[in-house]
Amino acid sequence: MSLAPGIWQPHDEAFAPIREERVPTGLTAAGGAGIVLDAMAAASLSWTVVPGPPGVAEITVVPDRPATVRVGWRLPCVDVTAFWAADGGEHRGLPPFWRRPRIAALERNAPVGCLVGAGDVSVCTYAAGEVVKPVRTRTGVVEETGEFGFWVEHDASPDAGVVLRLDVSGRHFARTLADVAAWWGAGRAAPVPRAARMPAYSTWYAMQQHVDADGVERQAAASAALGCEAVIVDDGWHSDDRGRGYGYAGEWEPSPAAFPDFAGHVARVRDSGQAYLLWYALPFVGRHTALWERVQPYTLAYKEHMDAAVVDPRHPYVRELLAGHLTRAVEEWGVDGLKIDFIDQFAVEDPPEPAPGADCATVNEGVRRLLAMLPRDCLVELRQPYVSPGLWPYATMVRASDCPLSPAHNRQRTVDLRLIAGPLAVHADMMMWHPSESPERVAAQLVNALFAVPQISVDLTAQTPEQLDVLRFWLGFVRRHADVLQEGSFEPARPDLMYPQVTARGDGVVVTARYAPLPVRVPETGTLLLANADDSPDVLLRVTDAGGAALAVVRDCRGRVVSERTVELTAGAHELTVPTGGLLTLTRPA
């Protein structure tokens, strides 16, 4: 793996004069390709390699003085199907190496990637140990050689070098990413309350900014009857303005017209048996607030289209101001949790020099100190793209980014989160539908987010009896099987095709969701719960053992039994009919 001019040689001043080192890893990738890292910096470098399980190593590259360090490597691009990244979105193909580098920092993204091969195996999974400061990565097909190239770089020092985990073990890609999350998670895991893993109701798509105490309480009562255990009150509670934008954000006083007795309102929702979470656009102070002039010396950027400024958390004044608002909600109004929005807006490119009085050298550290000031022992929701493991100590759940009425995107984004969320509960984006939507399509939305916590955001008092049956059935399913769905062994298939089938395994139970007409493998013993979100009801089951009798119960999207019979499962393929939005329960004796 020699250096290739124009590909590996950096052209920025951080590497002039360049010092290069070859780092043997002891790892061999598929096809027998040995991996030797190319490490470079404007400093002398030393390194250590700590072998892990077969095919895994942790490499640390340390400069002899503060410097930017880059570590690169390449592999033959053979039998490769996709490149997985935490910010991959809908783009799961193979990028060219010359594209713009990704940046991961505390406020956005995560420093991890996985080159996936045929059979969903990991050709190479990498992760950086730095989860607060910016980490730059470039990955892609090297056109000149047909290889796949990687490099990772960030600022380092003799006390804190570049720490890199490489995995070329050839295991299922989801297993390698779960191991990355475990590697990051040492000392970061915090208990996740039960309410964080139970279905929730959100006001956002159902009510937008038109929230008031009576409306929220009506939806809370209806959602509690369906099995929800949390109500998330989104934008609109803090102002009488209904024009979108954030010109009135920052003072965080309840609207006296919509919420005349906020603490009493919160208590009434909690009396329905639900936790209460309140939304905050944390970085913003709006142009129409009394705070506007006071924060002018402490701003990172102006967002004209949002009618607000992003304030600078490097200042103790700003951190105390923001944290004080959120603490008041918990301590004075009795809310159980906080929906913290727009943390990624702190990630301003080329931030200005801070005003006098700042006590942090970087915005990253200011954000970390701000989050550390938030009330402990409460529910805290974050969302994509701020998914760094550096945020785990300050959160209990993380939600898929907005994708209204897009089940496929909700599926992909929740699966992506599940792969690297570590201890956090993963929530789907809020689910909404047109009032005339069929029960089958409502059920398909729920099944598309089956391996995450569902958030419902429709007017529950206006649903048809059939739509309510669907909600009751599938939310009940999520509640009963939350341990398997959210914490079981997790195996999504085909990231290159947006995960057309996903499986989770627990104690004697296998849950598979089918989003395309792919065959489903039947476990040798125990229970298979097969949720069908595909339009085709003809489900092909694959039996790989000697077979035997099994009890097959099929329910429709509303939970009604449509067939129940004993089937003989000989080795090979078997076809059963499961309606769209329906559930097959296949039980085999031990």
Domain with residue 455: its CATH number is 3.20.20.70
Does 526 share its domain with 414? no
Residue ending a domain, choose from 486, 505, 539: 486
Count of CB atoms situated within 10 Å of the CB of 565 = 10
Domain assignment present for 45: yes
Does 146 share its domain with 245? no
Domain assignment present for 298: no
pTM, whole model, 2 decimals? Answer: 0.95
| Reported confidence tier of residue 243, pLDDT bands at 50, 70, 90 | confident
Q: Which amino acid is at 210?
A: H
Domain assignment present for 307: no
Does 375 share its domain with 509? no
Q: Domain range holding 33? A: 13-185
Q: What is the mean pLDDT of residues 19-47?
A: 90
pLDDT tens-place string over residues 345-362: 999 988 999 999 999 999
Does 375 share its domain with 453? yes
Domain assignment present for 70: yes
Does 473 share its domain with 420? yes
| Reported confidence tier of residue 196, pLDDT bands at 50, 70, 90 | very high
Q: Which of the pair, 192 or 478, is modelled with greater confidence?
A: 478
Q: Is the pLDDT of residue 48 over 50?
A: yes
Average pLDDT of the chain? 94
Tokens found for residue 41:
């910096």
Q: Is the pLDDT of residue 152 over 90?
A: yes
Residue ending a domain, choose from 486, 520, 538: 486
Q: Is the pLDDT of residue 7 over 50?
A: no
Does 272 share its domain with 411? yes
| Reported confidence tier of residue 546, pLDDT bands at 50, 70, 90 | confident
Does 327 share its domain with 246? yes
Angle at which helices 213-226 and 465-480 cross, to 10°: 60
Domain assignment present for 99: yes
Q: Is the pLDDT of residue 2 over 60?
A: no
Q: Which amino acid is at 163?
A: V
Domain assignment present for 290: no
Does 581 share its domain with 456? no
Residue ending a domain, choose from 486, 519, 552: 486
Does 508 share its domain with 563? yes
Cis peptide before 17 (omega within 30 of 0): yes
Domain assignment present for 302: no
- Element holding 40 (H helix, E strand): strand 34-41
Does 176 share its domain with 201? no
pLDDT at 508: 93
| Reported confidence tier of residue 5, pLDDT bands at 50, 70, 90 | very low
Does 512 share its domain with 532? yes
Domain assignment present for 314: no
Does 323 share its domain with 389? yes
How many domains would you assign to the chain? 3
555: exposed, middle or buried (Cβ count in 10 Å: 0-12, 13-18, 19+): buried
Q: What is the mean pLDDT of residues 171-178?
A: 98
pLDDT tens-place string over residues 102-126: 999 999 999 999 999 999 999 999 9
